[in-house]
Structure 1
Amino acid sequence: MAQHRRGLRPAAALAFAAVPLGFLAVFFAWPVAAIVRLGFGSGAAGVLRVLGEGATWRLVGFTLAQAAASTAVAVLAGLPVAFLLARVPGSALVRVAVLVPFVLPTVVVGLAFKALLPDGGVVAIVLANAFFNVAVVARTVGGLWAHVDRRAEDAARALGASRWRAFTSVTLPALTPALGSAAAVVFLFCATSFGVVLLLGGARHRTLETEIYLRTVELLDLPGAAALSLVQFLAVVGVLVVGAVARRRRENALSLRGQAETVRRPRGGEWVAAGLGYAVVVLLVVPIVTLVVRSFAGGTAGYEALAGTGFRGSLQVTGLEAALNSVRVATDATLLALVLGVLASVALVTLGRSRVRPGVVEAVDTALMLPLGVSAVTVGFGYLVTLDALPGDLRTSAALVPLAQALVVTPLVVRTLLPVLRSVDERLRQAAATLGAGPWRVWREVDVPLAGRSLLASAAFGYVVALGEFGATSFLVRPDTATLPVVIGRLVARPGELNNQMAYAACTLLMGVTVVIALLVERLRVRGVGEF
């Protein structure tokens, strides 16, 4: 009776989990399996040959190494920014500033860093990937940091611990669940980075993602692409399993007991962390400013061409139409991902608190993260191969792009929301149940208020990810419904100074749309919508 009163029953949780898992099976597992089967159907000998080559495992090594280095840089840079978001007043502009890099198409960021570091190479790749993902660390960790009770840290300080000792022994362990979640997402984003590696690595430095694209699109080597997709898939599963086990063990140690802590001006050594945070924000702005300046290098010619009928004739949409397409598709993808992500998070939390074996919970959690680690090229081609079998032939439907984008956004929603839901103090839920609240009211009165800010953060994250998604969208979108990232990619690939100016103008337009949306979300959060 007590278990029933404290929360949802395991049967209801399994029903919740069935929805996102069913979506994953139809729109991820089936298309990817079809491409792998197609590759093996051309002859297993070709697949085995690729797996036996030393070059394949050098690709694997470089892919994992650059992803690990990029993740380390993003975490180190994101921590002081997370401190700003959680503990320093007046951080609205900081929230917006860290979101903008996250939405930029990879091809544009690659060009920006190539302008800053003309020789490219490994350092440029690592810095560009970290530039993308500082926002993941800052927003995910900052959302949890805002809830961490300061009193334990103050007690450590009162007992003689230095500020650094108090942080490493009290605050940092409390932040570990969010750090683990953010690091897992960043690692997968960096391991599957495409445009950045393609532009900055050139022929010298290739990853599994760029090699899969090369073999699929240019060489038509489906057995080779299938073999590399299989290697990529197995590597991702291994990373997810290790990360999930470590993350789950540490999440049990954290407990959220109330609303977010009140922000205040930094004191003493906290100014060092705040200063580092502002320095990171400034560094994030440099490539953005470079792009805006480049868009006006030829005056307003790029903007005029972007809005003109000549632009429509070459790409079938104007810049404004492409922006509206991006907003519409991102809205649909985010709403779908929020539904799937919330259902998945509630199911995982409920199953974790029941007698269900931990391995089952970890398996579901890992399955939800898999789309982040599989090539967008593989998924896009898989859709074209399989979805004609569904009623209505979704290959020609406008819903195809939001479905593909929701695959990427849903894991981000789960990784942002799940640590907070798992960390809610069970005593609060027991107290509510003792006072007569049923399972649904316990969730509404206890869990939802504590997780509200994280839910809003996940919505903002999801929206900007969908706005800037390029890989799968470039394969699936129709010419007359092209989004801004697709338009930018096509313009960058065309020769001529005017095309470059239009590309930079389109990128500036995309950043403008992102800033407006981020400011609206921040305004809602400040007014209390995020607090419920």
Structure 2
Amino acid sequence: MDGPDLGMTGRPAMRRVLGLLALAAVPTAVLAVFFLLPVSGMLQRGLWPEGSLDLGVLDVLGEERTRKVIWFTLWTSAVSTVVSVVMGLPAAYVLHRLRIPLRGVVRAALLVPFVLPTVVVGIAIRQLVGESGPLGSLGLDGTPVAILMGLVFFNVAVVIRTVGAAWEALDRRPAEAAAALGASPGQVLRTVTLPALRPAIVSSAVVVFLFCATGFGVVLMLGGTRYSSVETEIYLLTTGAITGSVEYQAAAALSLLQIAAVVALLAVAARLRAVPDPTVRRTRATAARPTRRDLPALLATGLVLLAIATPIATLVTGSLRRDGRWTLEFYRALQGTGEDAGGGGIGGGLLRVPITDALGNSLRIAVDATWMSLLLGVLVSVVVTRRAHSRAEASVRGVFDGLFMLPLGVSAVTLGFGFLITLDDPPLDLRSSPLLVPIAQALVALPLVVRVLVPVLHGIDDRQRQAAASLGAGPVRSLLTVEVPVLWRPLLAAAGFAFAVSLGEFGATSFVVRAQAPTLPVVIYRLIGSPGELNYGTAMAASVVLATTTALVILVVERLRVPGVGVL
């Protein structure tokens, strides 16, 4: 495509600017109310708690527990990133360069952990390393090692998909030329292949580090209050789980620190994705048949599959066994409300509603969050990819481009915290509104939707839009006649990702969900934190149901996947 034509002036240029503003009106209003207002409220609570500037947040950052939390976040994220890269590279090669049986199924299976609800990942790892689990004799339960296992389990798919896509697009001829000149397979890997893959490897490592640093549910489930990351510490401070009282200023201080770190990491990741190595030729290579030299990579991929399948298999097995016998008792208990400390059952249980009702709530909320995120995602994607035909239009689009990228720099927990402290006073007293949870989940899913749609829209020839405009089509009609026919398949894939993410969202939801209408991830966390074998077993059964639903959605998404387009 040619560069932007900035020569348009006069009435046509004004019409295009007005059309751009109209397209951006709805997402801008949503962003202002449900992002900018909560974040500014958080800033106000942290920096101006009494109406005047208070730099007490600096004292919070200097406290011993805060330093420990920051250090724990840094080193666990770094170690998890290194392990994820080491485990992911062989699998990326096997699944994107070799022709093996059921390759598509294996790819989908390795993607499932990334979209599993974090509470499910946490309980699966706990079941694996717990006293009765296969690794129970190692004493890993409640240790940082268990947290590292959960973070790697959750994020290795990022490396496999990101590096694998780049590996699949590498031209084979430079490596073949090096081999013809006498280079060993190891030398070819070190001198030709890895240098060409370096941007993808570094980019995936940055993204994995970001996900590990904001891995709320995994760390909360496996670390409790003893081992806390910045993300979980914000939650614990706002719920009074540490000192018994709510500490908004300390939570705000950590939220500000997290926003700065996440924005910096996202900027690095975006820079790495935007500047590919110009010396590397990209062409989709045909998958080759495995040879004896590929045996180590095949074995390593098998170990990755085993490492991912074992926690899930342990979770399923644990949900079907009680007192050494096979039973469906925990699944039947899904119709009840758990048991309280006194052993109460359906009549006087731990929860206000049956667990099956919580599953219904999760499904309904996920449907609402999906259509909201799709509506916003389409409008945002069109605005940020629309070609500018005048300087005024380029300036307006540049402003919106930066504005719509702001939510990428804020984690779900920080967003939920902002909802908690800002949307509770008239005229925006929305704490009791049933729409607040799906709105929060839609904002969490929105970046994934945009990541799916933007590359597709960038690939549409702008001359088609110009032809539609010359025939009298306005912005909306042009969208329906030019973009929608190309977007329908990616839209379905984006809807699947949004639904899966919303179904398992826990970070923001835990702040704003109503006790009488909980989602299934919130119920699972509540059951896990309560004593009683029935509660723990029912939480495992609920986790299996949630994981199965999510996995089925992702398998459908994989069938709709457009080559070269995705969230990873």
Percent same amino acid among aligned pairs?
Answer: 46
Deviations 1:337-386 (A, max 9, x none): 34434544454455799986999798457524113375355144146436
What CA deviation, in whole Å up to 9, does each residue of 1:421-444 have, x standing for no partner? 77x6xxx959x77x9898999999
Change (3 A) 1:420 1:429: closer
Which residue identity lines up with residue 223 of structure 1 in the other structure?
Q
The aligned residue for residue 198 of structure 1 is 220
Structure with higher helix content: 1
1:77 aligns with 87
Match of 1:102 among 86, 93, 114: 114
Contact 1:377–1:471 at 8 Å: present in 2 too?
A: yes
The equivalent position to 1:476 in structure 2, one of 496, 512, 532, is 512
Amino acid at match of 1:228: L
Distance 1:318 1:201, change over 3 A: closer
Distance 1:362 1:190, change over 3 A: farther
Q: Is the 8 A contact 2:412 2:508 kept in 1?
A: no
Residue of structure 1 in register with 2:334 after alignment: 306
Equivalent residues in 2 for 1:363-402, closer than 5 Å: 363-364=402-403, 366-372=405-411, 375=414, 377-382=416-421, 384-385=423-424, 388-390=426-428, 394-402=430-438
Q: Is the Cα contact below 8 Å between 2:234 and 2:255 reproduced in 1? A: yes
- What is the aligned partner in structure 1 of residue 341 from structure 2? none
Determine if contact 1:306/1:506 at 8 Å carries over to the other structure: yes
Q: Which runs of 5+ in 1 are unaligned?
A: none
Q: CA RMSD in A?
A: 4.6
- Residue aligning to 2:260: 234
1:110-509 correspondence runs (5 A): 110-114=122-126, 115=130, 116=135, 118-142=140-164, 146=168, 148=169, 150=171, 152=173, 156=177, 160=181, 163=185, 179=201, 182-218=204-240, 219-250=245-276, 263=287, 265-298=289-322, 299-308=327-336, 311=346, 314=349, 315-350=351-386, 363-364=402-403, 366-372=405-411, 375=414, 377-382=416-421, 384-385=423-424, 388-390=426-428, 394-415=430-451, 429=461, 458-509=494-545
- Check 1:248–1:51 CA distance in 2 against 1; reply closer, same or farther (3 A cut): same
| Residues 3-42 of structure 1: pairs in structure 2 closer than 5 A | 3=3, 11=17, 20-42=27-49
In structure 1, distance between residues paired with 2:548 and 2:77: 29
Note the C-alpha offset of 1:280.
0.7
Which structure's CA Rg is the greater one?
A: 2
Contact 1:316-1:479 at 8 Å conserved across structures: yes
Residue 51 (structure 1) aligned to one of 61, 84, 87:
61
Deviations 1:425-468 (A, max 9, x none): xxx959x77x9898999999999999998766654443322221
Which structure 2 residue ranges, 5 or more long, are not aligned? 338-344
| 2:342 corresponding residue in structure 1 | none
How many residue pairs were aligned?
Answer: 517
Q: State the AA in 2 paired with 1:33.
A: S
> 1-side partners of 2:177 and 2:273: how far apart?
25
Whole-Å Cα distance in 1 between the matches of residues 282 and 483 of structure 2? 10
Q: Return 478-487 or 443-452, whichever deviates more.
A: 443-452
Aligned-residue offset at 1:131: 1.0
- Deviations along 1:462-502, one digit per CA (max 9) or x if unpaired, are 33222211122223223443222122112112211111111
- Between the aligned partners of 2:171 and 2:408, the Cα distance in structure 1 is 32
Secondary structure at 1:336's aligned position in 2? helix
Aligned counterparts of 1:123 and 1:367: Cα–Cα separation in 2: 33
Change (3 A) 1:512 1:271: same
Aligned residue for 2:410, secondary structure, equals helix
- Secondary structure (helix, strand or coil) at the match of 1:190 reads helix
8 A Cα contact 1:5 1:437, kept in partner: no
CA contact (8 A) 1:125 1:197 kept: yes
Q: Structure 1 residue 295: deviation in Å?
A: 0.8
| Aligned: 1:92 with 2:104 | yes
Q: Could you tell me whether the CA contact under 8 Å between 1:113 and 1:287 is conserved in 2? A: yes
2:106 paired with 1:68? no
TM-score under structure 1 normalisation?
0.79
